[in-house]
């Protein structure tokens, strides 16, 4: 800590001879962490590469942005016009201006919906690929699970018994 911070916080001066050393990590744990991080980065890269493979993904975004911009400009023009005409004509002009805002909103919503749909499709594809790999036995170390059919009461009894045995220890 610096002297200014010590004075500001009214803390006793620290002894500079005792420096904090980082915890030592076992090499095997460090390798596991590095492997896990590399695996996660590979998955992120796969998703990004899948997004890049979709054709005209940005073309539609640009078109929707142009539509939204034109609708916004038209709204501003109609609002100015509505303020400068007689009251009996302004109602229809303001109604048309509100429709322009609805068009802008729909264009922005369509853009967002398309992106969400693409992400959803990629997640479905990844899940389907994982299921196919599992079913084909390509995943190393895949375990075959066993299932037991239980009633709700039996399940609650097992959970409560497990908790009781933990409390008694």
Read out DSSP for 90-107? HHHHHHHHHHHHHHHHHH
State how far the Cα of 99 lies from the Cα of 111, in Å rounded to an integer.
Answer: 19
Structure token digits, residue 74: 């038209």
Q: What pTM did the predictor assign?
A: 0.42
Q: What is the pLDDT of residue 73?
A: 92
Contact (Cβ atoms closer than 8 angstroms) between residue 158 and residue 150: yes
The arithmetic mean of pLDDT across residues 57-73, rounded, is 83
Handedness of CA 148, 153, 156, 158 (dihedral sign): negative
Please state, rounded to an integer, the average pLDDT across all residues of the chain.
Answer: 76
Q: What is the pLDDT of residue 24?
A: 55
Q: Which of these, 113, 131, 123, 129, lies nearest to 51 by C-alpha position?
A: 123
Which of 67-71, 120-124, 131-135 is the least confident region? 131-135
Please compute, for residue 144, the number of CA atoms within 13 A of its CA located in the half-sphere on the CB side.
3
For helices 87-136 and 27-53, the axis angle rounded to 10 degrees is: 130
- In sequence order, which residues have a C-beta less than 8 Å from that of residue 103 and are 6 or more positions away? 67, 68, 71
- Condensed to tens digits (0 to 9), the pLDDT of residues 18-62 reads 444 445 556 666 677 667 667 766 776 776 676 655 555 677 788
Decide if pLDDT at 169 tops 50. yes
- In sequence order, which residues have a C-beta less than 8 Å from that of residue 40 and are 6 or more positions away? none
Q: What is the pLDDT of residue 21?
A: 45
How far is C-alpha 18 from the chain's CA centre?
43
State how far the Cα of 3 lies from the Cα of 13, in Å rounded to an integer.
Answer: 7
């Amino acid at each position: 800590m610096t002297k200014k911070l010590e004075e500001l916080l009214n803390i006793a001066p620290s002894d500079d001879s005792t420096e904090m050393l980082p915890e030592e990590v076992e090499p095997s744990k460090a390798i596991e962490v590095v492997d896990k991080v590399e695996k996660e980065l590979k998955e992120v890269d796969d998703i990004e590469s899948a997004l890049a493979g979709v054709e005209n993904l940005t073309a539609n975004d640009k078109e929707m942005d142009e539509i939204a911009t034109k609708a916004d400009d038209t709204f501003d023009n109609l609002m100015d016009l509505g303020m400068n005409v007689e009251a009996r004509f302004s109602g229809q002009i303001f109604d048309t201006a509100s429709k322009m805002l609805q068009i802008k909103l729909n264009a922005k919503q369509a853009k967002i919906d398309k992106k969400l749909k693409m992400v959803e499709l990629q997640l479905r594809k990844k899940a389907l690929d994982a299921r196919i790999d599992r079913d084909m036995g390509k995943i190393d170390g895949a375990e075959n699970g066993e299932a037991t059919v239980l009633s709700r009461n039996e399940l609650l009894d097992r959970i409560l018994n497990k908790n009781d045995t933990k409390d008694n220890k």
